[in-house]
A and B are shown apart, each in its own frame.
Chain A
């Protein structure tokens, strides 16, 4: 059986007769005494996110899942449409299914779908995604001198992030999808 050291984002685990997708985890040492793994996970059946804290080394029931490359097509209403690139089958996921990942999607991007019992239970984004900047307020003289080095820019999919002052419209940026942070400018 797997243990807490096998827990990672995207793993699917069985917990109290329900299946959960691990959204994030962290080791904690309360009061210097013991070691625990605090796991944020989302129920596949109810979509509810819960926090469960396991003792370090505890046995965890990790469920076998498969991954397939899928392409994000478009959003219609509250649903996000994807296409399986092997079978060309299309399927929809709701904003609730996607959670925080939804805001990083841009049309045409490839992501991993996590499949359990024949249905897609979650997606896994690439760790970094490139976006074109569609709106960036121009730097004002004196900004840098007054210590202002970051500004808010809007990316092609509507996502707003903080980026350095020198970023302009039409620049291409790499953004970290785990925390929404600017990584670097990658203009071709």
Chain B
């Protein structure tokens, strides 16, 4: 009776979660978005170096076997839709990532909200994110199961800071001087991190960011961190005023990352070369290597409009509104109860 008990114990939290799902849809319908579906089973998975897709075998009626993957995000499919002329679209549904914790702030099967706006940039998406949370806060105020302290913080006007300003604020370091792998490596060595020369810029960056900055972010009010070093944004457009940084942002609340957004890269060649780099990195680090999705590159080549998009973790959003510390408690039957 473990399943029944889990659902009974968390019934109020689950009701709140489902109410939030409904409000998310209402918000985007109000904004004239179309809810779209993308295939959950794909032939080519995402290329991100440290995300492990779940492999599955499918058979047709003649029992011919095909290898596929559960999607790790709907990003490639949604961008193909943008290239085909869809404009403001959102996907609200499951994504799958292998080798993640069963519980805590992860579940290998989780719910993702991804939305794209055509002809807009990442500042418009920042506004969407803030407006969405404000809308939900307003509609859930006074409901059972809503955390009053978190709600009060969400309702405030959010802070926006550049990544560079955070490094200055917390570490008195000018990030401009540490934008190469060599420089970041030296900085990590100086700070006594146990690093190796083989590590990518991003890995070195996160050593410091995760240990010395992240937990202090978004404590009194949600924080949008924007303008990431260009090396850390393989699907994003570079800043016009300073090409060392990219138009990417993340939302942090109580030290937890909630969402990741970009002004989308629309240049097919540039995209292909960045995906090739990621593929090489997978190869070098002994990970499974996947083909580059040529259909995705082809769609960009055919003409993907200027656009911006974001991926938002809905389970974590529910945790935040309910003040719940454990992701399992806002999921009907999490992995930890199934296996």
| A residues at B contact (CB < 8 Å) | 16, 24, 26-36, 38, 51-53, 55-56, 58-59, 147, 149-150, 162, 164, 179, 181-184
Do B5 and A33 have beta carbons less than 8 Å apart?
A: no
Report if A27-B100 is in contact (Cβ < 8 Å); known contacts: A33-B50, A33-B203, A33-B206.
Answer: yes
Q: How far is the CB of B269 from chain A (nearest CB, A)?
A: 22
Q: How far is the CB of A56 from chain B (nearest CB, A)?
A: 8
Do B100 and A34 have beta carbons less than 8 Å apart?
A: no
Report if A16-B192 is in contact (Cβ < 8 Å); known contacts: A26-B101, A36-B210.
Answer: yes
| B residues at A contact (CB < 8 Å) | 1-2, 5, 8-9, 11-12, 15, 46, 48-51, 97, 99-101, 104-106, 192, 194-195, 199-200, 202-203, 206-207, 209-211, 214-215, 228, 232, 250, 257, 260, 326
Residues of A contacting B99 in the complex (Cβ-Cβ under 8 angstroms): 27
Q: How far is the CB of B11 from chain A (nearest CB, A)?
A: 6
Do B206 and A36 have beta carbons less than 8 Å apart?
A: yes
Do B1 and A184 have beta carbons less than 8 Å apart?
A: yes
Do A149 and B11 have beta carbons less than 8 Å apart?
A: yes
Judged by DSSP, the binding face of B is mixed
Instruction: Output the nearest chain B residue to A35 by Cβ-Cβ distance.
Output: B50
* Most chain A CB atoms below 10 A, which of B200, B207, B209: B207
Complexed CA–CA distance, A143 and B11 (Å): 14
Complexed CA–CA distance, A181 and B326 (Å): 12
Q: Which 3 A-B pairs have the closest CB atoms?
A: A53-B210, A26-B104, A32-B48
Instruction: Output the nearest chain A residue to B212 by Cβ-Cβ distance.
Output: A53
Residues of B contacting A182 in the complex (Cβ-Cβ under 8 angstroms): 5, 9
Do A33 and B232 have beta carbons less than 8 Å apart?
A: yes
Do A26 and B105 have beta carbons less than 8 Å apart?
A: yes
Residues of A contacting B106 in the complex (Cβ-Cβ under 8 angstroms): 26-28
Do B209 and A30 have beta carbons less than 8 Å apart?
A: yes
Partner of A31, one of B104, B200, B250: B250
